Chains A and B, each alone.
Chain A
Amino acid sequence: MCRALCVVISFWGMFALTGCGAKKPYVQEFSVRGSADRQNIAVLPFVNRSGFPQGSKILYRLFLVELVQQCHWHVALEGDVFKIYRQMHLKPWDVPDVEQLRVIAVRLGVDTLIVGEVLEMDEKVTQSGVSPTLSFQVRVYDGKSGLLQWSSLYRREGGDYQKMMHFGMVNTVSQLGKKMVQEILKVWREKGLLVCADS
């Protein structure tokens, strides 16, 4: 009886600890990888297709923060990006074409551009807690050619990070976004797509 209980507990523990750890951002590579000395990047305004108020801005800011914090890259100021958008008569929700990407890269003095789309962002507040959901796609372009280099698609829910009871549970979309961005950057680094200044 005691032995059986131990087996059950150990199985439950394994499940609880591993959770959905196997889930990783999907990365699709398109063109030749950039050179390792690339350290200037611009994050262009994200497109919000989720309907969540300011969803694109929330994820945009989190991406900026994580790029600076994790990779120590020179990230173009949001103000500079918006100024060029204004000068080029581009709306923040417009996705620039190849030529516009090249012009933006030259004007900002960057060699990599990140364009993102928030596909799903939601926060369901129930009596049992909060269940945030986030799904987004990020595309990375070469600034010189304006060509797509790689893209990532990622979807997660707050409960995916739950370890045991309420531990590990993610309760806000901003917290979920931060974790997801960190994971995406980690995968990019592991694949050698993103070379951080300190690595």
Chain B
Amino acid sequence: MLLLNRQGNRRQKAAGIGVLLLLLLVVAGKGLAVQLAVMPVEDLSKGDNGLNPSMTGRLCEALIQKGYAVVEEKRIIDFMAKYRIRWVGRLDTNHVLLLRKELGIDYLLLGSVNQVREKEPAALGVALEIVRANDAKMIWAGSAQLCRADVRKFLGLAEPRNISEIEDIVVKRIMEILPQKLPESAEFSPENLTEEIRLTPEVVKPGAMMHCRIRFSENNMRPTDVSVSVVIGEKIVEAVYSSQEQCYEAAWTATGRDGRYPVSVSINRGKLGRKNIFAGSFQVDGQPPEIALSLRGQELDGEVVLRRQLTVIPVLKEPEPLATWEVGILDASGQVVKAESGHGNLPERFSWWGQRQDGIMAEDGLYTVRVSVSDRAGNDASASEKFRVLRKRPELNIVTEKKEGALQIDLGYDGKVPLAFWRVELRNGAGAILLETSGEKLPARLLVPLSKEGDKVSCRVYGQDVLGNKLRQVIDNLLALKSGGDKTEDQASGKDAEGNGWAVDF
């Protein structure tokens, strides 16, 4: 009995050890498995920065089945939130190295769903990249595409029916081409030391300050290990480390003739050697741009006139990129009545319809258009041209006089803009035409016989000046006009027969 008990205990002990060993193997196996971070898969079909959680999940499952230890999704999202990574589908070297440091990963999977077509025939395209975390090198990449039309089987048997089934096949194909063992490498030796080199500004005036900022990745450089200088031709400027900004900064005065100057950054890492990096170039520009204006509008006596629209064409004699521009219309007293400004190059042309900034039409008079520009170095230039606004309607002077049973009408014109033509209609009280005449030149004299006492003679004058300003005068009764051309009460009070004093055109 005692012997049987001892044997049973031994068996239990052996079984316990076996279970323990199995557990150890599982734990050790998990610990030895390659740590892989699957970044959220980008979905190009959902626009910029679209996300495909379904594909991300499927890839994670497939990789776990393949024996990889996949990092929890929550940890990756936390990492992205911590480092403010607001895009999917790509990651820079610095973030890859940080990911390795913080999550202890060996590899990183970046993926994108390139194409999703839901409607028949449904299709899906996926591209994947594997980045080795210790040196941030892309070591493998693959893509798989599938369209339902690619899989034609007898009687449609075992054909994928929807996008979900296509996803399964695509993931399966990806797993088939994914190598069983991913290539390893030694620890990261930084080839590219710099995280950022910023040379500002691009164009400067002679004597202005230039700045160069050099920032190293926090993973590969300590400020005590390195000295940095900026080389501009034969000039060498030592860069100073700013602990606040955590970068090296060099500043120098841009001197010399106008032209382009290359800049390189020299990084001295003591025993590890010196490296020169081309940082770009800057341009010294002390020459202000030369600008000329060409006005397009109607012309009168060699002067550009605005009646409807004025077009201003600015021309740079030597075209160059501009930083800002400003156009202004100034009245005779120098007050700005309309202004516009913008960044970058000048528009090809400006058009002004004669409206002031407040929307009211500008009055007739002499105006100036001025265009001011500033180039990228800050050199200013401006040009201006004068023009005249002439939109006043022409008006005839009408003088009447009764003479031996007839009415003598004298038409005169003393406006600045010559008339192109005029036409007069005279009607009696019944509306019958007494006289209709037209001409191009003034003054002119008309004679109308008066039929009966007390009848009235209405007059309508039409015409246009050479600029196109229309003339329209209506006088109900010429006989009521005071002799010598004095105006009737209506006319004296400024009431126009048209009743619309503002109407420039009709």
Q: Once the chains bind, are B196 and A87 in contact (CB under 8 Å)?
A: yes
A107: interface (CB < 8 Å): yes
What's the tally of chain B residues with a CB closer than 8 Å to chain A?
49
Judge whether A69 and B141 touch: CB under 8 Å.
yes
A91 to B191, CA, bound (A): 26
For residue A80, give the distance in angstroms from its CB to the closest CB of chain B: 5
Q: Which of A128-155 contact B (CB under 8 A)?
A: 129-130
Q: How far is the CA of A67 from the CA of B140 in the complex (A)?
A: 10
Contact B90 A78 (CB under 8 A): yes
B123 touches A172 (CB 8 A): yes
The distance in angstroms between the C-alpha atoms of A103 and B277, with both chains bound, is: 9
Query: Nearest residue in A to B198 (C-beta to C-beta)?
Result: A87
Nearest-neighbour CB distance to chain A for B121, whole angstroms, equals 6
* Structural contact, A125 and B119, CB atoms closer than 8 A: yes
Nearest chain-A residue to B148 (Cβ)? A171
Determine whether A65 belongs to the interface, using a CB cutoff of 8 Å to chain B. Answer: yes
Proximity bits, A45-71, B CB within 8 Å = 1, else 0: 000000001100110011011111100
The answer to whether A173 and B93 touch (CB under 8 A), given A106-B278, A130-B147, A166-B152, is no
Partner of B194, one of A65, A78, A107, A123: A107
> Are A74 and B129 in contact, CB atoms less than 8 angstroms apart?
no
Residue B348 lies at the interface, judged by CB distance under 8 Å to chain A: no
A183 within 8 A of B: no
Q: Does B143 contact A (CB under 8 A)?
A: yes
For the complex formed, measure the closest distance between the CB of A79 and the CB atoms of chain B, giving whole angstroms: 4
A87 to B90, CA, bound (A): 16
Report chain B residues within 8 Å CB of A102.
278
* B164 interface hit (Cβ, 8 Å): no
Q: Given that A103-B279, A178-B143 are contacting pairs, would A169 and B149 also be in contact in the complex, using a CB cutoff of 8 Å?
A: yes
Given known A-B contacts A65-B127, A68-B129, A58 and B278 have beta carbons under 8 A apart: no
User: Contact: B277 with A107, CB < 8 Å?
Assistant: yes
A94: B residues at CB distance < 8 A? none
Given contacts A87-B196, A171-B150, A172-B125, contact A65 B115 (CB under 8 A): no
- A107-B194, A166-B152, A172-B125 given; A62·B143 CB < 8 A: yes
Tell me, yes or no, whether A108 is within 8 Å of chain B by CB: yes
| A166 touching B149, Cβ below 8 Å | yes
Is B145 touching A79 in the complex (CB atoms < 8 A)? Answer: no
Q: Which of B45, B112, B120 has the most CB of A within 10 A?
A: B112
B residues within 8 A CB of A80? 92-93
Asked if residues B140 and A68 are in contact (CB atoms below 8 Å), the reply is: yes
Q: How large is the interface on A (under 10, 10 to 19, 20 to 34, 35 or more residues)?
A: 35 or more
Taking CB atoms and an 8 Å cut-off, the chain A residues in 96-130 that contact chain B are 99-100, 102-103, 106-109, 123, 125, 129-130
Contacting residue for B90 out of A66, A79, A106, CB 8 A: A79
In the complex, residue of chain B having the shortest beta-carbon distance to the beta carbon of A171: B147
Are A82 and B90 in contact (CB-based, < 8 A)?
Answer: yes
Picked from B44, B93, B121, B142, the residue with its CB within 8 Å of the CB of A58 is B44
CB pair A174 B145 closer than 8 Å: yes
Taking CB atoms, residues of chain B closer than 8 Å to A108 are 192
A10 on the interface (CB 8 Å rule)?
no
Given the complex of chains A and B, what is the CA–CA distance between A74 and B279 in angstroms? Answer: 23
Asked if A28 is an interface residue, CB under 8 A from chain B, the answer is no
Assembly CA distance A103 to B140 (angstroms): 27
Contact segment of B130-138, B286-294, B295-303, B497-505:
B130-138
CB-contact partner of A171 in B89, B123, B138, under 8 A: B123
The reply to whether B147 and A65 form a contact with Cβ atoms under 8 Å apart is no
Query: How many angstroms from the CA of A64 to the CA of B89 in the assembled complex?
Result: 13
Q: How far is the CA of A77 from the CA of B129 in the complex (A)?
A: 10
Min CB–CB distance B372 → chain A (angstroms)? 25
Q: Which residues of A contact B129 (CB under 8 A)?
A: 64-65, 68
Whether A180 sits at the interface, judged by CB under 8 Å, is: no
Residues on A lying within 8 angstroms of B by beta carbon are 53-54, 57-58, 61-62, 64-69, 74-75, 77-80, 82-83, 87, 99-100, 102-103, 106-109, 123, 125, 129-130, 166, 169, 171-175, 178
